[in-house]
Structure 1
């Protein structure tokens, strides 16, 4: 059954099915390519002793040796060639060594480089089947916001606390998306730069106020020198951290594109409002994930 005949469902099974179809297509193309190379090799070997109409048999100056089949694992063949002939390089007719029987010599092979390319570049994923990596998408979106706010120099520095410097903004403050404009807390209270890129003004204000309090007044999860690191670790959770779904250019600046995961919700639910939770559940439902829960 071809990939066009396989129904592709929406939800968590979609990516797994697309990967299976892509691997199946890759193996089929690989078999077809190897068969094509074998035919070309056989044709070249068959012309070693050609009889022309005059009846004269033409002998090649460098007779082709006993035919060897194209290896099913070109990468292993190339590795073996390098082991037995360390000075070998592609296209160097002067290279010589004791080539083992399991490795085709340069005179009777189509092209070892061509076989190597078969392993690495025979198949590429179509754009519509590209594998999505949520953590990388979230990191890219966060860096775009950080750059917009002029935070590139200290975004990853957890030893720095400072107020947001509006003189470093890449655009005038009134041209920022409304939900990314600095809150009063960001402008007056020293805080970790990582908080500034969160797309929810209320969450930024609550976190800045929280970390401005003495340690003993904070909830247990927010106490100690590693508290901010725990928050970032929850954001970066591969499966249930902060996630973004960008459907249009500039979507990373839309707060409704961002989703809170269970790893964040279970310990930090008290800094979130109902709208953030409802929007996160909407995005989770669209990809087949369960609702957030305590």
Structure 2
């Protein structure tokens, strides 16, 4: 029987915040972590006499691993949740001159700090950017090193690893938002299924399965999409890097307290 979880804290950056999923009535993105919380809440509700499932999401877009460590680790550990998801470091890897050894050190400290309280921790490998993103090949050495590091941490029985790198379905542009950095609603749905599977839940569907073939795009359509991406997403991203700003500056977590999910 899989472990019953009564509380869950999500830690990380935009991936975990839920960027580019469907919007909820309160104006926040839903995201794969909310989808996992909903499934675990439904599961617990079926247990006789069980308390309400509690959920917090401390993730904020744009955060580097040092900020996740400094701003989220102690708060998450102090909540004493049964389950924690931890994702971070990719924003660091995207920046030139990334100190990958320091990223690993801080990610490892986060994992150890969360495990020290007895929580089950779920971690992730990145998808393969070289298979879908122009210029992604330059990131691959760091991505592969991080992948090996996360799998090494996963040797701990209390750490489960969701291996997105080895799932070619994430090469499909339809699993990504227009900005090409964040998941689409279908991408979030698949990551949620992957997390639940890693926690021993039966798969509701094969999250690794490819989507049906897409209609081919003509050259003009591709060039138009690239132009919109450069103007709407790449340009502003570069601007923030040059001025030392982040999309998450001043933004609070969407669920800062461990409260009943429903």
Normalising by the smaller structure, the TM-score range is: under 0.3
Give the greater-gyration-radius structure (CA): 1
Does 1 or 2 have the higher relative contact order (CA < 8 Å, sep 6+)? 2
Structure 1-normalised TM-score?
Answer: 0.22
Structure with higher strand content: 2
Structure 2-normalised TM-score?
Answer: 0.24
Structure with higher helix content: 1
